[in-house]
Structure 1
């Protein structure tokens, strides 16, 4: 079964290693070409994440460096890896090819310069999260005690996303910023978040947030990070599926996907330690859900709700 994974941090790890890490088959990486192939991952999102500790005047160059590794190491050295720069590219993948696309995890790297955001879009960024856990010029993240919402600049970025058919990712936002985004965004998504009802962690979503996302045709992609899965003890695949079960109970069965956070997490779910093990989750899901429903979780829900396809859906036309 094809799988689409909406979040990994391979590029940040390659940047930290200054490129001395092979995407093809490095044992140090959770996500490699070989592991994607073994795990049946058809499309992988690659986040651009810039450490908050980096000096402000170095952040945009760090983002460009990560994009460089994406095109030279991930794509350039693996002929069957194909860069997806537009939503229509998703339909052009051939048998045996693995698609890859860029996402932005926090807009710190652009400062207050929208031209830099335009450059990142031209380079292939298809999803933008305004913050990581910290605050920046666009919004407060979930780790900012102030808990403020979007700034005027943040609202300008959401409008940019709407105009350019870019996903607006809410996964790391403060709750106030989440609701501000929901008021404005045409294409909302939580790329790697779980249910706060099941696991009371600040990074997870309340039932009210999740329900509102579903009502707005948004998506929630469950994350494999154990502290977001279970409050105590070792996390199992069944513990992760409990979050899917709960989101389904809120009406989201056609709007749930997967967002591993591989290479960005230090703990792992037992039996789901890297990209090659994704089939273990699929096999467990097939014990509880129909094949069509599991195909939805694995890849089809995302394809049916990506910008462009969603526009047709809203217009009442048949989804291609």
Structure 2
């Protein structure tokens, strides 16, 4: 069964060490060899500019990661196709892999919306306003004051709406989350689990999850054990508890997969890189109807794309 994955940090690893090859470097949880092995048909690649990068170098760092995406991920592999428009996902052939850009944190463009529009033009189809820290747009969940969106943040959401770009809530403070849900046409949580099952700060409570479902959004299940069961050791059974619960509150058509591969240091057992995806699919098929599993794997994403 084919799989869509809404979040990985492979570009960060490629940027940290330019000698790594996207084709098959073993340090990459997500590489071409592993995507093929796991039957991943769409992979979203996050642009993540680390907090310690000086402000005047952040946009350049984002551009460098985008350059690596175009040269190393797409440019060297005929069967990897850049997703520039949402319809490109529907046009993928059976032997092709779609590659799409997302932005994890508005720090990359500061308060310059021309830079944001440029990122759209370069292929960014999803924007998360923050990582854990606060920035000029919003407070992330690591900011003690726990504020919401700024005027600039609301402008960014409006631009996302205008350009039919997802607004990703996965790292937002609670107040920022609700500000986004009130204004975003296309909200998603690319890599967040259920707080009812695991009360990690990065997970969403039932009211947050249901708000995303009502807006025809998506929740991508993340495979980092602390987000799964608050330990460093988790199994696929533990992960499936999140899916089961979210289904029980109306999420069966809105659950997706968002591994966070290459952004985590510990893994769910038997799910430590994208080549292992079919192990998860097999476990899901033991517990859910095949059509539901197809939804989690890829169909829900197809049905929730911006229109």
The TM-score with structure 1 as length reference comes to: 0.95
CA distance in 2, matches of 1:174, 1:53: 20
Which residue in the other structure is 1:14 paired with? 14
Which residue in the other structure is 2:250 paired with? 251
**Structure 2 residue 165 is the aligned partner of structure 1 residue 173:** no
SS at match of 1:6: strand
CA distance in 2, matches of 1:70, 1:241: 32
CA distance in 1, matches of 2:123, 2:245: 34
Which residue in the other structure is 1:154 paired with? 153
Which residue in the other structure is 1:138 paired with? 137
Which residue in the other structure is 1:291 paired with? 290
Which residue in the other structure is 2:128 paired with? 129
SS at match of 2:111: coil
Post-superposition shift, 1:233? 5.3
SS at match of 1:283: helix
CA distance in 2, matches of 1:121, 1:10: 20
CA distance in 1, matches of 2:55, 2:241: 40
Post-superposition shift, 1:212? 1.2
Which residue in the other structure is 1:114 paired with? 113
SS at match of 1:7: strand
CA distance in 1, matches of 2:94, 2:172: 37
User: Deviations for 1:170-191, whole angstroms, at most 9, x for unmatched residues?
Assistant: 0000000000000000000000
Quick one: structure 1 residues 113 and 233, their matched pair in 2 at CA, closer, same or farther if it must change by over 3 Å?
closer
CA distance in 1, matches of 2:73, 2:23: 7
Structure 1 window deviating more from structure 2 (260-269 vs 225-234): it is: 225-234
User: Deviations for 1:101-143, whole angstroms, at most 9, x for unmatched residues?
Assistant: 0000001010100000000000000000000000000000011
Map 1:68-107; keep pairs closer than 5 Å. Answer: 68-107=67-106
CA distance in 2, matches of 1:231, 1:13: 25
Specify every segment of 5 or more residues in structure 1 that has no aligned partner in the other structure, as ranges: 309-320
**Structure 2 residue 273 is the aligned partner of structure 1 residue 274:** yes
User: Deviations for 1:255-313, whole angstroms, at most 9, x for unmatched residues?
Assistant: 000000000000011100100000011000000111100000000000101001xxxxx
CA distance in 1, matches of 2:131, 2:89: 27
CA distance in 1, matches of 2:178, 2:167: 12
* Contact kept? 2:232, 2:266, Cα under 8 Å: no
Structure 1 window deviating more from structure 2 (223-232 vs 108-117): it is: 223-232
Post-superposition shift, 1:251? 0.4
Post-superposition shift, 1:30? 0.3
Number of residue equivalences: 307
Post-superposition shift, 1:95? 2.1
- State the 4+ residue runs in structure 1 displaced beyond 3 angstroms: none
CA distance in 2, matches of 1:13, 1:86: 26
Which residue in the other structure is 1:317 paired with? none
Post-superposition shift, 1:93? 1.0
Post-superposition shift, 1:51? 0.2
